[in-house]
Amino acid sequence: MDMNGIAGSHVSAVLSRRNVLKGAVGAVLASAAAGNESRAADLSPDYPRGAIYIPARAFNAYQQWRDYDPKIAQQDVQLARQLNLNAFRVWLSYEFWLHDSSALHHHLTDFLQTCSAAGIRVMPVLFEGDGVEPTPANIIDTNPWSASDLLSPSTAIVGRPHLWAKPLDYLDWFMHHFRDDHRLLAIEINNEPFGRPRHRFAYAMLQHAARMRGAIKLTVGGANLGQSRSFISGGSQILQTHPDFPSSIHELDQVIRQMKKLHMVLNRPVWLTEWQRVRHGGSGWGRGVLAQNAWQPDYASLAPTIHRHKIGNFFWSLMLKPAWLLVQRRKGTLNGVFHEDGAVWSAADARAISGDANLKCVERAAWPEWAAAIPRRLGMPVKISG
């Protein structure tokens, strides 16, 4: 059965009860078409040049907003400006909203103001399709070996449409306050919603958001162009793809060419919203081990190609961190550019991302001490920074 048809049949009861999906799909599509960017705008000098932003010591989005510190946010935003960035992709937390919606609102508002003052627009991600279940233990876990990104909402909620009332309330809250906030670049409803239940959930949330649409465009974090295209009929106005670890520059170049063709056909932005480095020996998502030094950052292997194409993009991640997902972290994957004190793991990476060959920076290719349990457990012969 077509996935969109599944969405309609399973969620009609809860959505009609709350009167959130009135009108035909044609009206949603018309609204999306009316808000599309022009071809020229997508490829202009104003295209997003961004980073995934998660504070260095946050292991999930709940912790990011629970422990939000305006001073740290200010410092990190200034680091982003050193790289000539103009955008952030940032995960919000439905689970923290359930715990303290007022605190999330206050923290997010402060963060948006800090970013705006520095010329950085934000694309918040409302729901998450990767990670571990958001159990009480997983939410507060800060063990570098076991702490992880969180599925949001839980699999139990996603699989039961009659339990979607609270996620819809969260979506209502966000759209009411931020749908016309020009400090936002776009609103991402769900990142990588794999599997039928999560696809169905994401599609329904997107449709609901489309009915409430304001000035800010809607999108879904497709891991690939096929997944992104499946949400166009639900109201997605920007397509995404996530080639984190291409096997070669040629592979990335082919992906970007496909993105540009799709952009011309659909007349809407197509962005590369997760990229990291070339991995000739395999991406690391499977069971195989990583080749040699493929665990460490190497943005310089991809940045020149991305700059040459002038495509909207976000690299993972601004701050130096153990990999967000456990499958990568337990192979020793380290992401990011900046240590907390502003030193960089690789000056070559910082210069390649910024486009400034003369960028002055202090280089320190050493794991932060607070994350040292990972290389020590894996027996990696690397430096540890105190």
Domains in the chain (CATH in brackets) are 3-385 (3.20.20.80)
> Model pTM greater than 0.85?
yes
State the CB neighbour count (10 A cutoff) for residue 176: 11
Instruction: Give residues with Cβ within 8 angstroms of 265, minimum separation 6.
Output: none
Structure tokens at 186: 């776009």
Q: Which helix (H) or strand (E) holds 78?
A: helix 70-82
Cross-strand bridge partners of residue 314: 50
Backbone angles phi, psi at 72, to 5 degrees: -65, -40
For residue 174, CA distances in Å to 70, 92, 112, 169 come to: 21, 10, 14, 9
Half-sphere exposure of 121 (CA within 13 A, CB side): 16
**What are the Cα distances from residue 186, in Å, to 40, 88, 122, 189, 238?**
18, 10, 7, 10, 8
Q: If you search the block for the tokens 């709940």, which residue do you land on?
A: 62
CB 336 within 8 A of CB 345: yes
Q: Using CA of residue 200, residue 260, residue 302, residue 358, what is the dihedral sign?
A: negative
The per-type count for the chain, helices as H runs and strands as E runs, is 16, 12
Would you call 108 helix, strand, or coil by DSSP? helix
**Rg for the chain, CA atoms, rounded:** 20
Q: Tokens 């952030």 correspond to what residue?
A: 88
Rounded distance between C-alpha atoms, residue 348 and residue 364, angstroms: 12
User: Which conformational region is residue 292 in: left (phi greater than 0), alpha (psi within -120 to 50 degrees), or beta?
Assistant: left
Cβ atoms of 333 and 290 within 8 Å: the answer is yes
Looking only at the bridges linking them, the beta strands covering 187-191 and 218-221 are: parallel
Q: How far apart are CA 331 and CA 301, in angstroms?
A: 20
In this prediction, residue 386 carries a pLDDT of 60
Instruction: Specify the pLDDT at position 346.
Output: 97
Minimal CA–CA distance to 95: which of 125, 136, 57?
Answer: 136
| Token duo for residue 238 | 């920007």
Of 237, 227, 234, nearest to 196 (Cα)? 227
Tens of each residue's pLDDT in the chain, 386 residues: 334 443 443 344 334 434 333 332 333 333 333 333 332 223 334 799 999 999 999 999 999 999 999 999 999 999 999 999 999 999 999 999 999 999 999 999 999 999 999 999 999 999 999 999 999 999 999 999 999 999 999 999 999 999 999 999 999 999 999 999 999 999 999 999 999 999 999 999 999 999 999 999 999 999 999 999 999 999 999 999 999 999 999 999 999 999 999 999 999 999 999 999 999 989 999 888 898 899 999 999 999 999 999 999 999 999 999 999 999 999 999 999 999 999 999 999 999 999 999 999 999 999 999 999 999 999 997 788 76
Q: How far apart are CA 111 and CA 123, in angstroms?
A: 12
CB contact at 8 A, 101 and 119? no
CA–CA dist 36, 267 (Å, integer): 7
